[in-house]
Structure 1
Amino acid sequence: MVMRDLNIGTKVGLGVLNDRWAALVLINLKAAPTEIMNLRQRVRGLSTLKLLNVLAKLTELGLVATAGNYQFQLTTAGISFQKQLHQLEVWGDQMIVAMH
């Protein structure tokens, strides 16, 4: 069987990875509630409005949950995705070392 297109799940995952801000927000969030301004300080160069939009998208995908007044936290799915991001980082680091 020849694969001619990516499946929907792969497209969704790559969509999150391809969104620089979404990946940075996921890396910087924790399972414990984080205030939005603390998160904004960790993710430099992102306006508050853009951060809210990214958080809304990640909430819609079930990766982030609202934890109160402008507090957000990773869901179980978000924690799992964050682990995958860390694995991707490890793989990338290994590839860089192998190329030198």
Structure 2
Amino acid sequence: MVMRDVNIGTKVGLALLNDRWYALTLSNLGQQPADFMVLRRRVRGLSTLKLLTVLAKMSQLGLITESDHYQYQLTSTGLELQKSLQALEAWGDRMIVAMH
């Protein structure tokens, strides 16, 4: 079978991980709730408005949940994507080492 394009699921995943703000936000969240302002300080260079936009999109995709007090944490789906990002990072690191 000849593939001429990746499937829609691959495109969605790559689009999300290819945007550094989504990837950095995903990397800085976990199972424990993180306060908005703490998250804002962790992801340097990201404006407050952009962080709100990123969090809204991640919430829409079911990757995070938000509490009443502007606390954010990853859902099980978000944790799964975070692990995929970590695996991709580890693979990239191995490739860099192998090229030297």
Task: Tell me if both proteins adopt one fold, taking TM over 0.5 as the criterion.
Answer: yes
CA positional deviation for 1:67: 2.0
Distance in 2 of aligned mates of 1:67 and 1:92: 35
- The letter of the residue matching 1:69 is H
| Partner in structure 1 of residue 59 of structure 2 | 59
Distance in 2 of aligned mates of 1:21 and 1:2: 34
Q: SS in structure 1 opposite 2:4?
A: coil
| Partner in structure 2 of residue 80 of structure 1 | 80
Alignment RMSD (CA, Å): 0.8
Distance in 1 of aligned mates of 2:27 and 2:68: 20
Unaligned stretches of 5+ in structure 1? Answer: none
CA positional deviation for 1:10: 0.4
| Partner in structure 2 of residue 2 of structure 1 | 2
Q: SS in structure 1 opposite 2:77?
A: helix
Task: Give runs of aligned pairs for residues 18-97 of structure 1, distance below 5 A.
Answer: 18-97=18-97
- The letter of the residue matching 1:74 is L
CA positional deviation for 1:71: 1.1
Runs of 4+ displaced beyond 4 Å: none
Q: SS in structure 1 opposite 2:72?
A: strand
Q: SS in structure 1 opposite 2:10?
A: helix
Unaligned stretches of 5+ in structure 2? Answer: none
TM-score by length of 2: 0.96
Distance in 2 of aligned mates of 1:68 and 1:80: 24
CA positional deviation for 1:38: 0.2
Q: How many residues align?
A: 100
Distance in 1 of aligned mates of 2:65 and 2:28: 14
CA positional deviation for 1:57: 0.7
CA positional deviation for 1:56: 0.5
